[in-house]
Homo-oligomer: A and B are copies of this chain.
Amino acid sequence: MPSARTFNVMDATARALNPPPSSDTRPAKAPIPRDAPRSGPQRGHGLDRLEILKRRAADTPGLISFAGGLPAPGEFPRSKLAASFVRALQNPSCPALQYGWPEGHEDLRAWIAGQLRRRGAQVARDDVIVTSGAQQAVSLAAQMIRGSGARIGVDPESYPGAIELFQALGATIIDDHSHVDAHYLMPAISNPRGRKLSRGDRAKVLSSLRPIIEDDAYADLSFDGPAPRPLLADAPDRVFHVGTFSKTLCPGLRIGWLVPPRALRADVLQLKQSDDLQAASLPQAILEDYLRTEDFDHRLVRLREFYGRRATRMERALRRYLPGWRFDLPAGGFAIWVEPDAEPNEAFFLAAAIEHGVAFDPGSMFRAGGAVSPFALRLCFSSVWRDDDLDEGVRRLARCWAEIT
C-alpha cells in the first residue's frame, strides 16, 4: 500500500490546484446549459430553434451566460475531490473502480439518510437509492407513478427536464395542483422562480393524498438557512424524495438519490438496475471520502452566502439597467425569474442577445405547453465567471432590449 507520505504529496498537489484559476483566466468556452430544451416531437413551438441558439451561445467566445442552471465552477472543491480520489484508490480491493450494488454505496446512503433525519424525516440507510443524478431519480419515480395515473400536476413554470420526461412517458401535464393523479414540485426552493412553498399550499398538496415527487435539488441553497422539513417527513408512504449533489458540490459526479415509499423500494431498485445497473462507483467513492473528511455544513453556509450575494448583485443591476422589468428576489437557488415590460418574439430576442454577448433561458422552456406569453426569462446568476459579469451581462441585455423594443 502507498505510504503515509503519499497523502502529504497529494495534499501538496491539491494545494497547488487551489485556488481556482484567477478571475482573469476565462474559460475557453461558456458553460454548457443544463436546462437546454432538446429537439423532439412533443413540443411544437420552435424549440429546435432555441436548441440551436443555446448551442451557438455555448460556442461564442466572451459570451456572458445567464443560462443553464449551472453552479459556479470556481466553487468546485477541486483539490479536495482530487485528494479524496487518491485516498479512495488506496483501498486494496478498489471499490472506486469496480462494479457495485445497484442501490449504491453504504456509507453514502447512510450520510444521505442522516441529512434527511436532521430535517425531520424518518429515513434509514436502506431507504435510500443512489441514482445517476436527480434526473434519473425523477425518471424512476415517474415510471412508478405512471401506473397509478397519468395526470401530473406541476407549477405553471417548472423544471424542463421533468416536464419533458413526463411528456415522454405519456403523462398529461396539468400546470396546477388540483384534480391530478400525482404532483411534481420543489417545495424548498422552486425552479425557475426560486420560491418556497407556502404553508397553505403545502397543506393543500399533502391533503390531496396523491403520490408526490418532491424534487429537493436546491433545498440546501435557501439564502436564509438550512433546508426545511421535507414533504417526505409528513407523507413517507407516498412521497418520492429526490436530491442531488449537483448544485451543492458539483454536477460532474452525476450523483443524486431517491427515497421512494418503502413498499415500492424493491420495484424501484429493479427498474434502476435495468436502466443502468448502478450509479458510477468512482464518484460514489470520492463522495464517501469527501463527506467523511470535510465539513459539508460549513460548505453549505458559505455557498448560501455566495449565491445570496450574487442574487443581490444581479437584482441591483436589473433595477439599474432595466427598471421596467418585474421580478421577485428569489428565496434561494441560482436564478431570478423576470417578466419584462414588453412581448418581443422570444427566439428573436435570444438570438439578438447572443449577438450582444449575453444568453438566458427563455421562459417558454419552463411551461408544459411551451407558452411564450406572458413573456418571461430566467436569468441565472450562478455560473458567471466573476461577480462583475453580472453587471456587464445585464448591461448587454439592456442594450439589446432597447434596440428591439
Q: Are B271 and A252 in contact (CB under 8 A)?
A: no
- A76: CB under 8 A from chain B? yes
Chain A residues numbered 87-103 whose CB sits less than 8 Å from any CB in chain B:
89-102
Q: Are A266 and B93 in contact, CB atoms less than 8 angstroms apart? A: no
Copies in the assembly, this chain:
2
Give the complex CA separation of A102 and B37 in angstroms.
Answer: 11
Are A16 and B21 in contact (CB-based, < 8 A)? no
Closest to A270 in B: B40
In the complex the two chains form, is A282's CB within 8 Å of B283's CB? Answer: yes
Q: Which of A26, A38, A68 has the most CB of B within 10 A?
A: A38
CA A81 to CA B98, docked complex, whole Å: 13
With contact pairs A252-B282, A254-B278 given, residues A97 and B78 touching in the complex (Cβ less than 8 Å): yes
A9-B13, A276-B276 as given contacts; A38 in contact with B269, CB under 8 Å: yes
Interface segment, A129-137, A192-200, A231-239, A297-305?
A129-137
B89 with A17: CB separation less than 8 A = yes
- Assess whether B254 is in contact with A280, with CB atoms less than 8 Å apart: yes
Contact B27 A93 (CB under 8 A): yes
**Chain B contacts for A283, CB-based, 8 A:** 280, 282-283
Asked whether any CB of chain B lies closer than 8 Å to the CB of A206, the reply is: no
A273 at the interface (CB under 8 A from B): yes
Segment at the B interface, from A112-120, A144-152, A161-169, A314-322 = A161-169
Q: Which residues of B contact A39 (CB under 8 A)?
A: 266, 270
- Residues A90 and B17 in contact, CB atoms below 8 Å apart: yes
Contacts of A85 in B (CB 8 A): 82, 85
Question: Given the interface contacts A25-B92, A283-B280, does A251 sit within 8 Å of B10 by beta carbon?
Answer: no
Assuming the contacts A1-B21, A102-B38, asked whether A277 and B161 have C-beta atoms less than 8 A apart, the reply is yes
Asked if A405 lies at the interface with its beta carbon under 8 angstroms from chain B, I say no
**Closest chain B residue to A70 by CB distance?**
B99
A124 within 8 A of B: no
Contact, CB under 8 Å: A34 / B99:
yes
Q: A-side interface residues toward B, CB under 8 Å?
A: 1-3, 5-6, 9-10, 12-13, 16-17, 20-21, 25-29, 31-34, 38-40, 68, 70-71, 73, 76, 78-79, 81-82, 85-86, 89-102, 131-133, 135-136, 139, 161, 164-165, 168, 246, 250-254, 266-267, 269-271, 273-283, 285
Q: Can you report 23 residue pairs joining A to B where beta carbons are below 8 Å apart?
A: A1-B25, A3-B16, A6-B13, A17-B89, A32-B100, A40-B270, A68-B99, A70-B98, A70-B99, A76-B94, A76-B97, A78-B94, A78-B97, A81-B89, A85-B85, A94-B252, A98-B250, A133-B280, A135-B275, A251-B281, A254-B282, A275-B275, A276-B276
